[in-house]
Chains A and B, each alone.
Chain A
Amino acid sequence: MKLKPQTTVWLSIALVTVGIGITMATGLWQTESNKIPRALPTPAVVTASDYSGSTTVQYDPADIRGSYKFGEVSNLYGIPLEVLAQAFGIPQDDVEAFQVKGLEALYPDAENEIGTASVRLFTACYLGVAYSPAEDTWLPASAVAILKQRAVMSADLAAYVAAHTLP
């Protein structure tokens, strides 16, 4: 069977369109995060309620994405918004809608980057869950002060944080 080039292209477009249509109809097609992080495999220190508030789950700080807003981090991980605002120097009025990836723009002149990895580290230390920080993850001094006061992080993480505090 010989096929014209146009036929192969139209057949391909039809195949892809039908495939996308079926996955959309079945709810499989997603182009943005559902904002539900991975659950921790073992019981964590803290439980957070999900959006509906009807069930409790324990989420992995390592799964915080740059697209999350601080309001979502607060909801999912049970950290008060004012604590997050104070830790990362975000104005109280803006903190709920502030995206985690926006920290890079908030600290443009920092010698060491403050970003999504910093929020993951802070969350893990705040909750007292085991965590392996990505290479060279830094925290603002304000965040470290909160963590020291709370004092639930492991000795290893405490040492790491002490060595990775922005002046």
Chain B
Amino acid sequence: MEQTGKKTRKFRLRIQVVAFVVVEALALIKWLKELGVAIPLPEISLHAVCPFGGVVTIYDLLATGSFLPKLHSAAFILMALGLLVALLFGPLFCGYICPLGSYQEWIGKLGRKLFPRRYNKWVPARLDKALGYLRYGVLAMVLWQTAVAGKLVFQDVDPYYALFNFLTGEVAISALVVLGVVTVLSLFVERPWCRWLCPYGALLGLFNKIRLFPVRRNAKTCIHCKKCDKACPMGIEVSAKGAVRDARCITCHECLSGNACPVENTVTISGVKEADGK
């Protein structure tokens, strides 16, 4: 079981690193080309392949028939594919792909070493859950403001954009400040941006409610050790649920049998037709 867990974690880390490197490479290629360096690779802006761009341009697309400045059909297609994946398996994008999520997670590893007992326990669970609703406010505000302004207003506070474009000089000070705050908070709390403020995570998280292959706990074989609860970076009480339908789940798979759960076939990913095991 322990071997399986290590294998799964290593697999996730590899995917995270590849995603991070690809995004960083896209940003670097664009920056170097703008400086006049000849690179025999296509120049693709991060906006062009950002699935959240597809979300914020929906209004413009419906109202005017065109995408917001800096956005193209690729962002819209990636949004649609991302939502389809979320409908099947939940927000895998958050747990495996999002480079800002990975960045916070890696900073958090340092936080774990600095505060081994207090890490991710500074904020009371009820307050943490309440703060999680801020994400929906941010999502609504970003959609509204973008529709009114007709441009990418979120860019000015987007830590993702700041993380990968700070070399270009195109990043607003406000976005760098947000990135700095998120970085510092990541030393104390697991993925602070994802759990409290990320508008795209808010949207994808809703698919946990209806995903076809949720994380399920088999109550018959569960030994109530609560290791799944401790492993969950988002503070979800997995041990109290039959199926994890919590919108905060980022689908990192840390709670599964073979990872945190010590009992085989107890916390698993399984289709809707099976009993919840309650």
Contacts and interface: CB of A to CB of B under 8 A. Distances in A.
- On whether the two chains bind one another, the answer is yes
Interface of A: 1-6, 8-9, 11-12, 15-16, 19-20, 23, 28-33, 38, 63, 65-67, 116
Contacts of A67: 70
Given A2-B268, A5-B256, A32 B11 contact: no
A31 B72 contact: yes
A9 B130 CA distance: 30
Interface string B33-62: 000000000111100110000000000000
Contacts of B65: 38
Contacts of A9: 11-12, 15, 92, 96
Interface string B65-102: 11001101110011011101100110010001000000
Contact of B92 (A8, A29, A32, A63): A8
A20 B15 CA distance: 19
Contacts of A23: 73, 77
Nearest to A4: B269
| Size band of the interface chain B makes with A | 35 or more
B126 interface: no
Contacts of A2: 265, 268-271, 274
Given A19-B81, A28-B77, A30-B48, 9 more contacts: A3-B271, A5-B8, A11-B88, A12-B92, A29-B77, A31-B44, A31-B49, A31-B72, A38-B64
B271 A19 contact: no
Contacts of B12: 5, 9
B48 A8 contact: no
B270 A32 contact: no
B274 A1 contact: yes
Contacts of B136: none
Nearest to B64: A38
Chain B CB within 10 A, most for which of A28, A31, A65, A66: A31
16 contacts: A2-B265, A3-B270, A5-B256, A6-B8, A8-B89, A11-B88, A12-B89, A15-B84, A15-B88, A16-B81, A19-B84, A29-B73, A30-B73, A31-B42, A31-B49, A32-B48
Contacts of B256: 5
Contacts of A5: 8, 11-12, 253, 256, 269
B273 interface: yes
Contacts of A1: 270-271, 273-274
A12 to B, nearest CB: 4
B259 to A, nearest CB: 8
A37 to B, nearest CB: 8
Contacts of A12: 85, 88-89, 92
Contacts of B253: 5
Interface in B223-275: 253, 256, 265, 268-271, 273-274
Contact of B72 (A19, A33, A116): A33
A65 B69 CA distance: 6
A3 B269 contact: yes
B273 A16 contact: no
Contact of A6 (B11, B43, B64): B11
Contacts of A31: 42, 44-45, 48-49, 72, 74
B213 interface: yes
Nearest to B4: A4
A3 B273 CA distance: 13
Nearest to B11: A6
B11 to A, nearest CB: 6
Contacts of B213: 3, 8
Contacts of A29: 73-74, 77
A41 B116 CA distance: 63
A20 B77 CA distance: 8
